Amino acid sequence: MLDTNQFIDKLIKNEYTHLCVVPCSFAKNLINGAINHNHIEYLPSASEAVACSIAAGLKVAGAKPIVIMQSSGLTNAGSNITSLLNPYGITLPIITSWRTYKEGDSEIQHKHLATKLPKLIEAYGYNHVVLDQESIDKAITQINLCDNSKTITILKKDTFSKVELHDNYKLDLSNYPKRSEYLRYLNETYKNSDKIFIGTTGNTAREMYSFMSDTKNFYMVGNMGGALSLGLGMAKAGKNIYVLGGDAEFVMHMGGLTTAGRYKDINLTYILFDNEQNKSTGGQNSYQYHVDYKNIAKASGFSIKKKSITSLDEFREFINTKKEGLNFAHVKCDIDEVTPRPPVDVVAINKI
């Protein structure tokens, strides 16, 4: 295991300037260490494609960025790697986690790349190295190799020592209800109904399994940013859909929002639960205070709850007064304790 803070100090000595990141739990200690440090800039990115493009701009302008993502996100970055970095000869370190999979696991989004990740990297025209877990100097040498060649770094679990975020980077949302309180109300209101609830990637889907046992649920364990588009497809097929999203999920593939906004004759309600962080990957701040979720949704064609919802009473009012069609609500929430993942037999469904 590498000492995370020493590794970051070595990155800085090697003049690396920015970390362009879509968080992954395997890299959370490295990310936390960078956030805590004043001499390397943490750049949270809406998607892996955005992270690669930002990093390319930094490198062209003379900075030394590093991109961090998880293996499933490397597919999001494929177009940037093959049509920007490669043809323009821009080389920079890309660190991607290598998520594992055991048969019967409910993390079905990792099954394919658990064995095919090196082949994916090869298909992009790149070589790969597995980040050394014992020697910081060897690991830095590998990062430098990736900075100067078409090589991608693979990160295995438990490579970096534990780093807690400094207190000034931790969030306090205790003034808001926990998401579980909102979910319990949805379960109570819509139990045994024909409404279909789609839970976005991460803790939202987990919590739906724990707190919404009496509703029809689709647990999206991967494909972050795609829950709304999946819901649009179901709504176009005649279903009454509720998409339960999050602040980081909202920005990853916003084209789904503008696409859905074209269709006024469907029943699609998008509830954005905003806990201001990437909770399932370590609780890092999403730094999206500048994003006006409500008016973006309104401009895209949704009917919106004009005021952000900050209490269970306001949430009840929204649910009980919203009309048919396209609806959007921005809901502030506190975090719950981590709940169990839904089992594979309720995740791996393809019909509702």
4-155 against 179-347: fold identical = yes
Share of the chain above pLDDT 70, in %: 99
Helix 179-190 vs helix 203-211: crossing angle, to nearest 10 = 50
Instruction: Give the model's confidence band at 257: pLDDT under 50 very low, under 70 low, under 90 confident, else very high.
Output: very high
Give the mean pLDDT of 147-163. Answer: 97
Q: Fold for domain 4-155?
A: Rossmann fold (3.40.50)
Q: Is the pLDDT of residue 18 over 80?
A: yes
**What pLDDT was estimated at residue 100?**
87
Domain boundaries defined on the chain: 4-155, 179-347
Right CATH number for 179-347 from 3.40.50.300, 3.40.50.970, 3.40.50.2300, 3.40.1710.10? 3.40.50.970
Residue 85 to residue 76: CA distance in whole angstroms = 14
Using one digit for the tens of pLDDT, what is the confidence trace for 179-193? 999 999 999 999 999
3-state helix, strand, coil in the chain (%, to 5): 45, 20, 40
Using one digit for the tens of pLDDT, what is the confidence trace for 31-76? 999 999 989 999 999 999 999 999 999 999 999 999 999 999 999 9
**Three-state secondary structure of 121-145:** HHHCCCEEEECCCCCHHHHHHHHHH
Q: Is the pLDDT of residue 134 over 90?
A: yes
Residue 162 to residue 269: CA distance in whole angstroms = 39
Greatest pairwise CA separation for the chain in angstroms: 61
Rg (CA), the chain: 21
Contacts of 49 (CB under 8 A, 6+ apart): 76, 77, 79, 80
Instruction: Give the model's confidence band at 278: pLDDT under 50 very low, under 70 low, under 90 confident, else very high.
Output: confident
